[in-house]
Structure formats: C-alpha cells, structure tokens
Amino acid sequence: MKKSLSLISLFTLLIALSFSVKAQDDLMGLFDNEKPTTDYTHATFKTTRISLGQSIESPANGNLIFDIQHHFGRLNGGAYEFFGLDQATLRLGLQYGITDWLTIGYGRSTLEKTYDGSVKVRMIRQSKGEINMPFTISYFGNIGINSLKSIDTSRTIKFSSRLSFTNQLLIARKLSSAISLQLTPTYIHRNLVEKKIDDNDVWALGAGGRFKLTKRVSLNLEYYYILSEQTAKDYYNSFTIGFDIETGGHVFQLFFTNSQGIVEQHFIPKTTGNWLDGDIHFGFNISRTFALKKPKEFKK
C-alpha cells in the first residue's frame, strides 16, 4: 500500500512538473513572438520653416496652418526710413495637411505681387528600432506667378513668362533634443529673368540649424549658397539669424536677414543685400494652427 502511494505521488509530481515546464515555454514564446517597434523622431524643427526656407516639418493630417510673414526694409536706411520700418514685404499663406506626409500650400506676396502654390511630400522619416533611418527626407516644390504689371505698356508679357519653379530636397537629422541640422539642395527655374546675363536655371545649396536655448525658445541659422556662376556674380548668398518662440498654438519667428524676398524664387537667387554693408532686414513669421479634422483616436 505504501509502495502504491509512493508511485502515485511520483506520477503526480511528474505531471505537475510537465505542466510547469510547458507554461514556462508558452510564456517565453510570448516574449519571442513580440514584434519589434519603430520609434519615429518628432519636432526636428518647431514649425514648417527654419526661418526663411522650408524645414522638413509638415502640418498633421487635417491641420491648417495660417502664415503671416513680414520683412521690413534695411536697417541702414537710418532714422529717416525709421530703420526700415517704413517699408515692408508681406506674405500671407495657408498650408493644409492632406495626410501626415502630404501638404499643399497657397500664398500671396507683395513683392512682384507673386502668387505661389506648393506641395511638400515626406518621403523618409528619421527613426530607430525595427526601422533604423538616420535622416528625414522631404521634397518641396512650388510654382510662382508674377502678377506685376509691365512698366512698358507697349510690350505684352506672356503668362508663361511670369512663371517660376522651385524644387528642393530637405534632408534633416535631429542630433539631440537640442540640436537639429538640415541640408537643402535647390533647383530654381525662371522662365523670364531681369537681365540677359542672368541664369534661367539656378542651383543652390542651403544649410540650416536649430539650437534649443530653453523649452520654448531656439536659435536658428540659415544660409543658401548660390552654385550657378553668373547669378552668384550679380547677387549675394542669403544668410539669416533668428529665434523661434513657441506660445501654445502660435510659433513666433523673429530674425535678421539680408534678403527682402519671402518665397524661394526671390530670396535664394535674388538677394541684393550685403551683411557687411549693413543691408539687413528685420522680419518675423507668425504661424497659427487650426485642427479641422479630429485625430482618429477621438473620432466617435
């Protein structure tokens, strides 16, 4: 009898151990089958522009951004010109996020009474984890229409001659929570130029950076180097120093630049100011975001 009880106890122990081992195997299997995740980088820059030029940032799906961009006259105009405040170049614009990766835009500038339409496409996004990508890469393109009346009334300017085009690759990396850098290879085509010796096709390389100073304030630097030889002889490279100030739904950008123009067709190939001569414009951008579509998680 005692022998039978011992055999029963041993048999029960073996069954219990087998269930325990199986349970451990199932638990380990859950860890083994857990899918790796991808962590995407956010807020490489504070808004859709570094200062003058485009950043890789885009409005979220269903968000509309209203832009007010303002460049005053040159500071070296002196007290008579109120240090540039008597003159101003203004652009009003809209950007809408059709998706999280596709943005369309529209704007109108006072300089040459230019209308512009644009598209921005995010192609690659910086991330780590299952997908390890060191950069964010976006494409930006626009078309500008010069609607300024011709001074020579005897000459008719064709509509096609009023068109200009910009194509850019925006290549950025967020190095840390405080530092972000971007390179911007640029190609601009102008159907009509002011001088016969000017290039219709202009190549340039832009570089910009954001350096976080506080939680809501950052220092921004931006520079566009003109690669097209003839245009480079007639104009200066655009250089801008500015600050981003975030206040809830608004982002204020204050900056100093040698460029009067606001759209890419103006400030990249047609900057006439020289920093060394004091040809410096004070300017600002104000961006206000409106959520026209609720995020998916809030839909009922």
The whole-number mean pLDDT for each consecutive block of 10 residues of the chain, a chain of 300 residues, reads: 45 45 48 74 93 95 95 88 86 96 96 96 93 95 92 76 96 96 97 84 96 94 94 92 86 94 95 93 93 65
Give the span between the Cα atoms of 218 and 51, in whole angstroms.
11
What pLDDT is stored for residue 34 in this prediction? 65
Domain assignment present for residue 298? The answer is no
Q: What is the CATH number of the domain that holds 244?
A: 2.40.160.40
48 shares its domain with 7: no
Claim to verify: residue 30 and residue 159 sit in the same structural domain: no
Question: Which pLDDT value is given to residue 83?
Answer: 79
Q: What type of residue is 61?
A: N
Q: Would you state the pLDDT for residue 249?
A: 66
Q: Within this chain, do residues 79 and 150 fall inside the same structural domain, yes or no?
A: yes
Would you state the structure tokens that stand for residue 140, as one six-digit string?
A: 């930006």
- Same domain? For 7 and 108 the reply is no
User: 14 with 114, same domain?
Assistant: no
27 lies in the same domain as 48: no
* Same-domain check for residues 86 and 18: no
Instruction: Look at residue 60 in the predicted model and tell me its pLDDT.
Output: 92
Give the C-alpha separation, 296 to 60, whole Å.
12
The reply to whether 299 falls in a domain is no
- Residue 300, in any domain of the structure: no
Same-domain check for residues 16 and 81: no
pTM here? 0.84
Task: Measure the CA angle with vertex 19, ends 15 and 21; round to 5°.
Answer: 115
State whether 146 and 126 are in the same domain: yes
Query: Is 284 inside a domain boundary?
Result: yes
- 164 and 24, same structural domain? no
Give domain status of residue 68, yes or no.
yes
Report the number of distinct structural domains present in the chain.
2
Domain that holds residue 167: 42-293
Same domain? 27 vs 47: no
My answer on whether 30 and 81 are in the same domain is no
Q: What is the pLDDT of residue 296?
A: 63
SS (HEC) of the chain: CHHHHHHHHHHHHHHHHHHHHHHHHHHHHHHHCCCCCEEECCCCCCCCECCCCECCCCCCCCEEEEEEEEEEEEHHHCHHHHHHCCCEEEEEEEEEECCCCEEEEEEEECHHHEEEEEEEEEEECCEEECCCECCEEEEEEEEEEECCCCCCCCCCCCHHHHEEEEEEEEEEEECCCCEEEEEEEEEEEECCCCCCCCCCEEEEEEEEEEEECCCCEEEEEEEEEECCHHHHHHCECEEEEEEEEEECCEEEEEEEECCCCCCHHHHCCCECCCHHHCCCEEEEEEEEEEECCCCHHHCC
